[in-house]
Structure 1
């Protein structure tokens, strides 16, 4: 089996590449460094030659709706136009219930896959354990990191990668049950544990309906589904 990984150099993408190779698959990384521009489609068709499944774990750092939709919509349309045989996309638990610009892009991505002719699967996952470290760099003011108040059920990126490769093996499955971690935790507390005092974490209540939804647990699963086994404590100890 030959698997292409879009976003193969990112937090989850690196794990996807490792898992696929450990299982003996031929892996193609779709990145600018490999001559592919996913946002324009340049070089994409050539790299997809002989590929059985594309695992899309691309991401963009923006909270602007137009920018997010342009990115995720563009990548998805380009994969479809380039002749991808099968696309497995990673999405986010709760994107229907929390109105942010970034999530608007993820909703568009899911819709384009569902309405398109290319066979597809979508896995929604909660924030990764690694997100507690990433969030420290989102908004910095001197020695302070502003971290949003949110309830999360984080999962290890490695376990997300394993689930995505499982879907590549299984074939087109549509939207599958949401993947989450083993326990619900407060993101501010997790960020403080990762930071260990540097930077100093300042909790921020995101205003409006989106902030209320984040604090109330809208980004956590509401129904049954697979749960990771790696706790945040175990991830932090091994970090």
Structure 2
């Protein structure tokens, strides 16, 4: 099967390309570094030539209101090119809970992206994932100052990126579901607790202070970004993941 991964040079996409190739598929990676411009459409026709499946793992350049026009342009160009090239299945990586948090600009933009894929001319599958374990330290860096890390008590259910990649590969090589599947890690933690566990695992002397107004996830209510009913649940526990020395570079 020939599969084009748009965003295939990024954090998730590059791992997905490697996984698909290991399974014997012809997987190609596409992004700005390979000459693909989703906003103008440059390079799309060549990237999708003779492709069976397109997997979209891109992020917008920013997390603010500019994300929506980016996804509108990118999705429109990609869907037109995919239809022209006879692509039979579009798979989108998205985020658990975005339909429950309209006040976060980036989440609203991802909802728009999903709606464009759903309304498009090609059979599709959407894979929504919870927050990656690999990004917990990045989240902490947004609200760190000196020896203090300020974090809200927002509940999270982090998943290892390897399990996200496995699910994307499974969905991409299967029949389009024309619906959404959600995936999440096995454990739910308040974000401040995730921060403390992470600092302890790395012998980091900083302290976590609860601040319900700190960072992007302060706007997230209740269990909005934890696994919904029917979600696939991974097997990698965050504490085990930390114990094996994983960390963001």
TM-score (norm 2): 0.85
Unaligned runs of 5+ residues in structure 2 are: none
With structure 1 as the length reference, what TM-score do the two structures score? 0.89
Cα pair 2:7 2:13 within 8 Å, conserved: yes
Deviation at 1:108, TM superposition (A): 0.3
Structure 2 residue aligned with 1:174, among 172, 178, 188?
A: 178
- 1:15-65 deviations in whole A, cap 9, x for unaligned? 212211111111211112111112322111111111111111111353322
Preserved contact between residue 151 and residue 186 of structure 1 (Cα < 8 Å): yes
**Which residue of structure 2 lines up, in the alignment, with residue 59 of structure 1?**
59
Contact 1:149 1:206 in 2 (8 A): no
Residues 135, 191 of structure 1: 8 Å contact kept: no
The residue number in structure 1 matching 2:49 is: 49
Task: Figure out how many residues of one structure are paired with residues of the other and give that number.
Answer: 235
How far does residue 90 in structure 1 lie from its aligned partner after superposition? Answer: 0.9
Runs of 4 or more off by more than 6 Å in structure 1?
none
Distance in 2 of aligned mates of 1:81 and 1:18: 27
The corresponding residue for 1:81 is 80
Unaligned regions of 5+ residues in structure 1, if any? none
Cα distance between partner residues in 2 of 1:56 and 1:198: 39
CA distance in 1, matches of 2:39, 2:146: 34
For 2:168 and 2:225, locate their aligned partners in 1 and report how far apart those are by CA, in whole Å.
20
Matches within 5 A, 1:40-189: 40-60=40-60, 62-65=62-65, 67-83=66-82, 85=87, 86-99=89-102, 100-189=104-193
Q: Could you list the per-position Cα deviations for residues 205-230 of structure 1 after superposition, in whole angstroms to 9, with x for gaps in the alignment? A: 138xx84643x111112312211011
Residue aligning to 1:26 = 26
Q: What is the CA-CA distance between 1:9 and the residue it aligns to? A: 2.7
Residue 229 of structure 2 is matched in structure 1 by 223
Change (3 A) 1:137 1:35: same
Output the CA distance in 2 between the equivalents of 1:55 and 1:68: 19
